[in-house]
Each structure stands twice: as C-alpha cells, then as structure tokens.
Amino acid sequence: MAVALIGGTGLPVTFWTLCDSVKQMKDILMFKPQLRDIKSTLDSLEPLIKEMAECEKELDGQDEELENLRVEMEGGVELIRKCSKASRFKQYKYGSRLVEFSKSLQRLLGILKVQGIRDVKKALVSVRNIESVVHRIEGNCVIQNNQSEQIAGWCAVPEPPTITVGLDVPLWELKKKLFTDGVSMVIITAPGGCGKTTLATKFCMDAEVKDKFKSNVFFVTVSKKPNLYLIVQELYHGTGAQVPDFQNEATAVSWLQQFLKQTGQNPMLLVLDDVWAGSEFILEKFDELKMSDYKILVTSRSAFPRFGSPYYLDCLNNEDAMALFHHTASLGDRSSYISEDLQRKIVERCMGFPLAITVVGRSLCGQPIEIWQKRVLEWSRGCSVLESEHDLLDCLQRSLDALDEEKSLIRECFIDLGLFPEDKRISATVLVDMWAELYGINEDISSIVNLYELASRSLVNLVLTRNDKDSDGYYTEHFVTQHDMLRELAILQISREPLQQRMRLMIDISGDNFPMWWKEQKYQSLIARLVSISTGCYISSLANNSHEHICTCNAHTLKSQQYSAHVISFQLTSYTVIIADEEFSSKWQNLPLPEAEILILNFQTKYYALPEFVEEMNKLKTLVLTSSGIGPAELNNFQLVDSKPNLKRIRLERISFPSISRYPIQLKSLKKISLFMCSVGQGFGNGSIHISEAFPNLVEMNIDYCNDLVELPADLCDLIQLKKLSVTNSHKLSVLPEDIGNLVNLELLRLRCCTDLSELPGSIRNLKNLNLLDISNCFSLKELPEDIGEMCSLEKLNMRQCSRLNELPSSVVDLEKLMEVTCDEETEILWEPFLPYLSNIHIKVLKEDINLNWLH
C-alpha cells in the first residue's frame, strides 16, 4: 500500500500505522466484524487520500480536512492498541467503540469525496479566473452526474431490508400521528435493535408519503456525537447546492435556517436517525421553524418528551418473529429438517427483538441440526443470547455506555432491576426503599425521577395502574416492567465481576439445586451489599414405569418418604412430581454476608422460613419478603430479624401477618413497614407482638390491598413517632380507632379506596401537624367530622369519588392553610358556599381515569 505521495500533514505515517494495527488484530474473533469494516474503509480511503494530497499540492497549503482525518486515525491506532491488551471481561466495551470508529471513518470518507472534488474545482477556478456562478453550475453538474457514487452524502434514504415484518400497523399509526395538523415532530423510540431505523426507511418509501413530499425527503444519520457542521453540509450536498464554509456554530445555524426556509417552501420531510440523549440542541435547531408542511421524524432510544408525544415501537409478536427468523436463517426447504419445536425455542429466546432474531438466524444459517440443539441446551442452562451474539450485545451495551459519569447512578439503578424475577412487575415503592438505603436517596420523588429517566431511554417501562395525575407522593400504583432482553443485559453487567467481588448477588434456587460454589462453601464471606435470593419448585424423579396415574398427596405422605415439604395437593404423572419447597430452612447452608444492606427474598411456597444466616446480617437496612404463591405465606422464624441494629425498612408481600406477630421482636431502628396484599386477620391484636413495643420509632406505615383488614388496632395509636399512615385499597376496613388523634406527629393520612369506611373519628381534629388528608374513593363516607376545621396545618385534601357526602361542616372555613382540594364534578359543588371565605384555595377537578391496568 503506497503512501509516499502524500505530503506534509503527517497523514501517511498514521495511515500506514493504522493499517498495520488492523492487520495484526485480525485473529481476535470478537472484533472480527468491526475490523473487517474498518479495513474496507481504509482500502477505499487509499486512492482518495492520494488524490486529495495532489489537490493539496495544487492549492499549496495545509488542508484542515486531512488534518482532521489524521487526528481521527491517531485515535484509531490508540483504540486498537487498547483492544489488543484488553482482558476478556473488558473486550465488550471496545467492540462498540470500534463500531463508532468505523462509522466515523465512513463519514469522513464521504465528506472527503465531496471536498476533494471541491478542491480540484477551486484550483481550476484559480487558473481560469472563473467567477462563483460558473463554479456553482459546475458543482451542480458534478453532483448530478455522480449520484450513483452517493456524492450527495447520506441525505438519500437508505434501502430498507429485503424483508420487513410487523411494521404495517406501526406505519399506519406513524402516518396518522405525523400528518396531524400542528404536529411537526414525532420521535420513534425503543431499545436498540427493535427496528426504529427500518420503520423510518419504510415510512419514507411509502407511496402516500412519497406523494405528499415528492422528492423533498432528507435522511440524516446523527449518531452519538452529532456534528452540526457536517449535518448542514450534508443537507446542502443533498440539494446539489454549493457547500458553505462555517466559521463557527452561529454561522452553521444561520445557514441551516436559510436552507429550511428555502427548501421548506414545498412539503418537506426530514428524518434524523439515531439521535442520542444529550442531543436535544440538534432537535431544537431543526424544530425552531414552524411550517405547516415541514415534518421531522426522529429515531432514538430516548423519548425526548418535550418535543411531543413519542411513538413507542413494540417488539415483534410470535408470528412476525417466526417469519423474520425463517428469512434470516434461510430455512426455505431446510425447514423440514429443523423441527417447528426447535425453531420455536430459538425464536422465543430472541424475545421479539428484530436484531436478536436476525443475528441468531444468520449464525445458525446452514448449520447442522446439532449446532441448533446445542444452542438451545446452552440457553436452557442459563446462558444468555447476549453472550453468544456480540453484535446484539454491542448494540444494547451502547445504551448503558452512554450513561456517562453524570448519569452513573441511573446506570446502577438499571443494573439493580436485574435482581428481580423474570416477567414480574416491580413495585416502584420497593425500589424507593432499596435506593434510599443503598444510595442515600432520601426523597421518594428522586427515585421516581430515576425511573422516569430509565423509561425515557427505553430501558424500562413505567406502568401506572391509575393515572390520576395527583402529585402528592402516592407511588403505590407505580410499577416497573422490563423486557427480558434488557434484564439479561443487566444480569450480564453483574456477572462480569468475580463472585467474591460483586456488590450485587443474585441466586436463583430451584429445589435442591444450589449453586455449586455454595454447596462447596467455596467462599468464607462475600462483600455484596445487595442480595436477591429466589426459591421455587423443583422436580423430583419418582420412577413408575408400569402405568400412568394421578393421585393426591399431602404433607404427611411426603414426610413418610423423607421429603421435607408441606404440600396441600398436587398431581402426579408417571415420571415426576412437583414438590413445593415448603420448609426450606432445613436445606439452607451457611452463607456469610457481612456487608449485605439490602435483602430480597422471593419464594413460591405457603410455608417459609428465613435462612439462618439472616441472623448474622448486622448491616441489614432493608428487607423485602415476597411470596409468589396463590395465597399469603406463613413465616416460621421471623424472630431472626429481632434487634437488627440498622434495619430501617421492611416490606412484606403476600405474607400472613399473624404468622410473624406471634414472635416477640423489637426493632428500635425500624422507620418504615409496608404490607402489600398481606393477610392481616387478627394478627395486629391477638399475637404476642404489640406494634408500639415492636416498632417504637416507626415513622411510616403502609397497608395496601389487605382485603381482610376490618379495623385498625387501637395499639397503633401509641406509635407517637408516626408521620405517615397510608391504608389503601382495603375494602373491608370500616372503622378507624377512636384515639387516632393521639398520633400527634402525623403529617399524612391516606385512606384511599377504603370503600366500607363510613366515618372518621372526631379525634382527628387533634392532628395539628397533618398537612395531607386523602379520602378519595371512600364511597361509604357520609360526613366529615364537625371540628375538622381545627386541623390547622392541613394544606391538601383529596376527596374525589366521595359520592355519599351531601355537605361539608361549616368549620372548613377555619382551614386557613388549605391550598389544594382535589374533587370530582360532584364534590366540587360542595365547596361553592365556602369559596368566598377561602381566598387561597385551589379546587382541582379531575375526571376518573378508568382502565384495567390494576388487574395485572
């Protein structure tokens, strides 16, 4: 590869060094696709650099573009040097960087093609002394005659893939959304690899779109590090106009505005592809001009909500996923050799991700059936698709790598989500409790903001079961879901560190299948701060080859056969029996976790015992116990958490409270306890535990969906440190304790959706520090206490859907600090007589949001 002709910019040495570096790296399999692309670009650059160098001699001066290329190549040499020395655990980071470097080279290659021709023409102009008008005519001719060589840059719409599936409905919805009057910009958003760019190209090729915009369609790839100068130059190239020179960004913006005004006189469609978070300034510049027929379509992993309602692109359904897989795997007639069941298992593991289906299909194309079977076997043993498909991993990993140091906490929050069971909704309040103690996020709203940040980057889905737009800190009905592929991405981040160095520890136990390192007691102790342990059911072989039969077994039967389990009933076939691990405590082996601050236990059994090593976890701050079984589970040894010096938060989901109330415990450090879908029964009053003695410093209590709660115990009124009491969706609650006024430090009382509650005790007037009272959806509430006006600190009152209230007590005029009352149209009328006396009050009328999200 001769480079002697290239002159004084220092480019030849750098170019030659880069070529040698790429050649030396060719044997590293992980980087092979990226290096192949880089080498191809370098081969294309060689003759072009020679031509540009000759032009430089004619112009007798240094060329800034060649200098930029030299700097870019020096960076590439350094990047490849790091790649060659990277450990196996860090190689994944450099794969995405090599992709970015390759794209940067390709971009410079295209720009240099046009700039090389420009320089030649400048030399001719200098010799012949021809004015700029002739130069512009010459430039237009050159561009028109060389469109096949794509001299016009990347403004041309790229060809969509040969097969696209599942995009007919999104295409129709996208047209409807973008063609709406008053809508100038639509953001197509989804995780990487979901087909955003494919949808955008298909949109540009649609007959209706072509008819509307004619040839006035521009397609610009923005990428992770946008350059406004290059983008504006590309747009001018696309029209065949003379490319302006920019002295600064203000000049580039001025040329951009001029371009949009001139080109936008006719209907115009601009596609900004692959826009990353942090590039809002690019969108602002393009969105400043408001013209009726000027539309902008953006593809991004981020939603950019301030630019309008985004369009969320879903993954493929099973039928479309199978069709795409058939094409990419080139099954055709081979489909008869690959069973449908095997194909289905492969496609299921791709989880509807078009990119995953494509890369897996291509990797299996033409392979013998044993390779297919091995791949499925590896996945069944816990291997991730991401571990075998590096292109897919690189694509998704870039979303995390984009979270720079300022967003490092958001990245950690994303990884934390991998600790929760697959295909389960995660309560936002669980995350609030975790992150408060793990990261010191003491305000609930800050944790919720982190979730919104993750959702805006398409890394999670935030589900609101009731979207009533109240901003009063009620997040019980906020849930998080995560696509399984993104969950695998989070788990992969955890697993890259050696076990003994992990700050997060996730253990999934099925039956007696403990991890080998745990069985062998390989580690004396682990340093994990966040620990998640899930236990479930296991399959025990009971050979019976004579005939198939079905029988019902009980706990006594199993114990006689030396199975440590309690089972109410189950079905037995000829080979296996599903045994619920009910008394799991007898199987726990010691697991020293001296640094653990957060412990999450998930189980599927009716009877459960905490692992004995919990007793030694003295740094424990947050405990989350969740039963995924049909009914509330009973705990047999809750006393293990007794006297934990740092335990501040406990959350119980589907737990029988009477089973823990029989143990005398005292948790002086406990600040918050949450009961979700728990069986309360008489657990508050009849056990040996007294709430005020067990939790003497409790500040917050949340009781939600506890359907057997009929009345709150009088003992609760002795929790004088309590500041927040929330009892919601407990439909049988009919009575509050008469002495509730003793909770003199209470600042928030929430009784939302307690539909049987008929009255509030008169002592509620003694809650002088209460600033928020929520009685929304208390349908049976007939009247408010006559002396409610004595609640002198009350600022917010939510009384939506209190349909049986006929009037308000006259003392409401004494609520001088009351600023906001949330009503429906019926309860709003009750306030009209008092409005002249309440000058600072704001009545907020909200319509009921009726949906079925809560059924999940």
pLDDT in tens, 230-258: 888 888 877 777 777 777 778 888 888 88
DSSP track, 800-824: TT-TT-----GGGGG-TT--EEEE-
768 three-class SS? coil
Whole-angstrom Cα distance, residue 557 to residue 538? 18
Cβ 439 vs Cβ 412: under 8 Å: yes
Distance of CA 110 to the CA centre of its chain: 35
Paired sense of beta strands 649-653 and 622-627, if any: parallel
**Region 600-620 average pLDDT:** 91
pLDDT in tens, 669-717: 999 999 999 998 766 656 667 788 889 999 999 999 998 899 888 889 9
Tokens representing 183 are 């809508």
Q: What pLDDT is stored for residue 635 in this prediction?
A: 87
Residues of the chain with CATH 3.80.10.10: 727-856
Tokens representing 585 are 């405590």
pLDDT in tens, 18-56: 887 877 776 666 677 777 778 777 777 777 666 665 555
Q: What pLDDT is stored for residue 227 in this prediction?
A: 81
Residues of the chain with CATH 3.40.50.300: 158-312
Percent of the chain with pLDDT strictly greater than 70 = 80
**How many other CB atoms are found less than 10 A from the CB of residue 68?**
14
| CATH of region 158-312, choose from 3.30.43.10, 3.10.20.810, 3.40.190.10, 3.40.50.300 | 3.40.50.300
**136 vs 503: which has the higher pLDDT:** 503
Whole-angstrom Cα distance, residue 177 to residue 199? 14
CATH class of 318-392: mainly alpha
Under the banding of pLDDT at 50, 70 and 90, the label for residue 771 is very high
Under the banding of pLDDT at 50, 70 and 90, the label for residue 196 is very high
Task: Name the DSSP class of 50.
Answer: H
**Region 837-855 average pLDDT:** 72
Q: Which residues contact 767 (CB under 8 A, 6 or more apart)?
A: 740, 741, 743, 744, 746, 749, 791
Whole-angstrom Cα distance, residue 292 to residue 242? 27
pLDDT in tens, 484-535: 999 999 999 999 899 999 999 999 887 777 888 988 888 888 999 999 999 8
Distance of CA 835 to the CA centre of its chain: 45
With left for phi above 0 and alpha for psi between -120 and 50, is residue 767 left, alpha or beta? beta
Under the banding of pLDDT at 50, 70 and 90, the label for residue 3 is very low
Averaged pLDDT of the chain = 80
b/e map 196-205, b = 16+ CB within 10 Å: bbbbbbbbbe
Cβ 536 vs Cβ 604: under 8 Å: yes
**113 vs 279: which has the higher pLDDT:** 279
Q: Which residues contact 244 (CB under 8 A, 6 or more apart)?
A: 232, 233, 236, 251, 255
Strand-pairing partners, residue 608, are 635
Q: Which residues contact 138 (CB under 8 A, 6 or more apart)?
A: 121
Helices (H) and strands (E) in the chain, counts: 27, 25
Paired sense of beta strands 607-608 and 576-580, if any: unpaired
- Which burial class, exposed, middle or buried, applies to 345 when counting CB atoms under 10 A from its CB (0-12, 13-18, 19+)? middle
Stated as kind and residue range, the H or E segment containing 46 is: helix 32-59
Q: What pLDDT is stored for residue 274 in this prediction?
A: 92
pLDDT at 807 over 80: yes
**Region 777-786 average pLDDT:** 93
Whole-angstrom Cα distance, residue 110 to residue 133? 25
Whole-angstrom Cα distance, residue 593 to residue 524? 9
How many CA within 13 A on the CB side of residue 202? 20
Stated as kind and residue range, the H or E segment containing 290 is: none
Q: Which residues contact 706 (CB under 8 A, 6 or more apart)?
A: 675, 677, 678, 679, 680, 730
**How many other CB atoms are found less than 10 A from the CB of residue 263?**
18
Q: CA torsion, points 343, 349, 351, 357, in degrees to nearest 10? A: -60
Q: What pLDDT is stored for residue 561 in this prediction?
A: 31
Percent of the chain with pLDDT strictly greater than 90 = 41
Distance of CA 458 to the CA centre of its chain: 5
Q: Which backbone phi and psi does 676 adopt, to 5 degrees?
A: -120, 120
Tokens representing 140 are 């237009």
Under the banding of pLDDT at 50, 70 and 90, the label for residue 593 is very high
Under the banding of pLDDT at 50, 70 and 90, the label for residue 338 is confident
**CA–CA distance from 537 to each of 379, 505, 540, 591 (Å)?**
20, 21, 10, 21
Residue holding tokens 């600033």? 771
Q: Which of 777, 722, 713 is nearest to 751 (CA)?
A: 777
Stated as kind and residue range, the H or E segment containing 744 is: none
Cβ 664 vs Cβ 639: under 8 Å: yes
Stated as kind and residue range, the H or E segment containing 232 is: helix 228-239
**How many other CB atoms are found less than 10 A from the CB of residue 845?**
13
DSSP track, 322-349: HHHHHHHTT-GGGGGTS-HHHHHHHHHH
134 three-class SS? helix
DSSP track, 350-400: HTT-HHHHHHHHHHHTT--HHHHHHHHHHHHTT--HHHH-HHHHHHHHHHH
3-state secondary structure 619-636: CCCEEEEEECCCCCEEEC
Direct distance between the N- and C-terminal alpha carbons of the chain, in angstroms, rounded to an integer? 64
Domain 727-856 has CATH 3.80.10.10: yes
Strand-pairing partners, residue 679, are 656
**How many other CB atoms are found less than 10 A from the CB of residue 215?**
6
Q: What pLDDT is stored for residue 546 in this prediction?
A: 31
Q: What pLDDT is stored for residue 163 in this prediction?
A: 86
Tokens representing 570 are 């189950």
Strands (E) across 384-460 are located at 426-427
Cβ 680 vs Cβ 705: under 8 Å: no
Q: Which of 37, 3, 31 is nearest to 17 (CA)?
A: 3
Tokens representing 302 are 């981020």
79 three-class SS? helix
| Chain length of the chain | 856
Q: CA torsion, points 473, 479, 483, 484, in degrees to nearest 10? A: 120
Cβ 249 vs Cβ 228: under 8 Å: yes
600 three-class SS? strand
**Region 374-401 average pLDDT:** 88
Whole-angstrom Cα distance, residue 214 to residue 225? 31
With left for phi above 0 and alpha for psi between -120 and 50, is residue 338 left, alpha or beta? beta
Longest dimension (CA), the chain: 106
- Which burial class, exposed, middle or buried, applies to 144 when counting CB atoms under 10 A from its CB (0-12, 13-18, 19+)? exposed
How many CA within 13 A on the CB side of residue 791? 28
